[in-house]
Structure 1
Amino acid sequence: MTWVEAIGWLGAALAITGSAMKTIIPLRCIGIATNIVSLTYASYMGLYPSMVVNMILLPLNGMRLYEMLGLIRKVKLASKGDLSMEWLKPFMARRKIAAGEVLFAKGDSANCMFYTLSGRYRLNELGIELPGGRVVGEMGFMSPDNTRTQTLECLESGEVLSITYDQVRQLYFQNPEFGFYFLRLASERLFHNMERMEAEITRLRAAAPVERPVEETVSA
């Protein structure tokens, strides 16, 4: 067996190995190695169609690997306290919203989440206004029945970015690290909401009038 044939067999082995990969990053790495080896083999053998295919796939695999590694790096940074999820912007679609438009209503089926670029928005049931630069609607992804618990209304026209839960699931299952950090971010948002609710309950209890005991009332 010549060294050229050995390279050809190596390329075949790498292609089979790549097909067996279950996660996207190892798949892209094996794909890059396969493209390099196959391109070398095709060059020596004069297989021009194979050369063209691998010359196209090599930068494509490299670009996708770079994007995924960048996403993981940004998610790690976000998990340390940045809950804006700006790292999802490249995967989201832009949409203009008019004043008075309801993005979703309480009880609706939830299938996407939003990032507010500009304008003003309000969660009606809570009476909370959301300025630009906020993520809203992500908790529906975690809920068992995927229904909205709030109504989001636009108070001042602006733009939002949206990403469907199907796209989030694709990112979630393509890379285990992404899934881990997304769960951590969602948990942090959930605990933040619980703390705000507990603070509101404490405030209401402190503001409530103190009832006098029955015995004291009768004796008086």
Structure 2
Amino acid sequence: MELNSADISTILNRILDTAADNLRVAKILVQLGLDPNNVTYDALFNRLLEIGLANITLANMFALIGAIFFVATLLMQTMVPLRVANMAGCTFFATFGALTGNVSTFLLYLLLLPINAVRLRQMLRLVKKARTAAQGDMSMEWLRPFMTERRYQRGDRLFKKGDVATEMFLTVTGRFLVKEIDVELPPGRLMGELGFLTPNNRRTGTVECIEDGQVLTITYDRLLELYFQSPQFGYYFLVLTSQRLLENIARLEKTVAQQDAGSQTAIASDPP
């Protein structure tokens, strides 16, 4: 048999009477303005309703909306909407701080706004560059904000074939040589991207510095983070590395063709 509203109210009142016997609960009831010796469900509900209505102010409404946006950021899986929601939440919390005269709250969320704005701009640029991959834009300049600077001198070895690969390089100045295929890498070229794709993350070649220069580096962990933040970046990176592989294959075919041509010339020049 289903319980009616009177039975539920009676049960709740009994629960409240039992809870009021606890000193901590009794103290809380006193703070709420209730008599611990004579507390009922209706009295508690009405008192909480009064407190809620009394605290409905413009400032608290801004704080409530800001809290909703904050919770929304915890539920989002991609960075762009997360940053947008975070900026909206910071705006409402900063307004709450201004209306209540809470300087620390106002300054905290006011300072968080430009930080989120800068990160959002970087991510939007990332997505924009990724979307242009299909049109053949293979520039890696957009990746600079996520990379760190490193300098090398002539004779320094950046990495050796077979080493464990943990980062990717972008040349800025100087000259670098891939020893196995005797290819020089000018500024603006990518190095070490294939190690990101190999199953065991091993270097596929040895690169040495042949002229003092500067490179930018980014770890594979950061690359993975960018991939999960923007699936378009994953496509962009695959197109880029595929182009590198095709260049290597074309270079190898050219070398083989030159060797075959040299062999035929040597055979033709031999006396009968």
Name the TM tier (shorter chain).
0.7 to 0.9
Q: What is the SS of the residue equivalent to 1:67?
A: helix
**Match runs of 1:133-172 below 5 Å:** 133-172=188-227
Is the Cα contact below 8 Å between 1:118 and 1:160 reproduced in 2?
yes
Question: Is 1:54 equivalent to 2:116 in the alignment?
Answer: no
The structure carrying a bigger helix percent of its residues is 2
Q: Tell me the TM-score normalized by structure 2.
A: 0.69
1:23 to 75, 78, 94: 78
Partner amino acid, structure 1, of 2:87 = I
**Match runs of 1:139-218 below 5 Å:** 139-209=194-264
How far the C-alpha of 1:174 sits from its partner, in A, is: 2.4
Q: What is the SS of the residue equivalent to 1:129?
A: strand
Q: What is the SS of the residue equivalent to 1:182?
A: helix
Specify the alignment match of 2:176 in structure 1. Answer: 121
Q: What is the SS of the residue equivalent to 2:99?
A: helix
Is the Cα contact below 8 Å between 2:194 and 2:204 reproduced in 1?
no
Q: Tell me the TM-score normalized by structure 1.
A: 0.83
**Distance (whole Å) between structure 2 residues aligned to residue 206 and residue 131 of structure 1:** 29
Specify the alignment match of 1:213 in structure 2. Answer: none
Is the Cα contact below 8 Å between 1:93 and 1:162 reproduced in 2?
yes
How far the C-alpha of 1:168 sits from its partner, in A, is: 1.8
Specify the alignment match of 2:123 in structure 1. Answer: 68
How far the C-alpha of 1:175 sits from its partner, in A, is: 2.3
Structure 1: segments with no counterpart, 5+ residues: 211-220
Is the Cα contact below 8 Å between 2:122 and 2:145 reproduced in 1?
no
Q: Deviations over 1:20-46 (max 9, x none)?
A: 111111100100111122222333333
Specify the alignment match of 1:39 in structure 2. Answer: 94
Is the Cα contact below 8 Å between 1:79 and 1:185 reproduced in 2?
no
Is the Cα contact below 8 Å between 1:116 and 1:134 reproduced in 2?
yes
Aligned length: 211
Q: CA RMSD in A?
A: 2.5
Structure 2: segments with no counterpart, 5+ residues: 1-52, 266-272
- Against the structure 1 CA distance between its residues 41 and 95, is the aligned structure 2 distance closer, same or farther, given a 3 Å change threshold? closer
How far the C-alpha of 1:206 sits from its partner, in A, is: 4.5
Bigger Rg, which one = 2
Partner amino acid, structure 2, of 1:12 = A
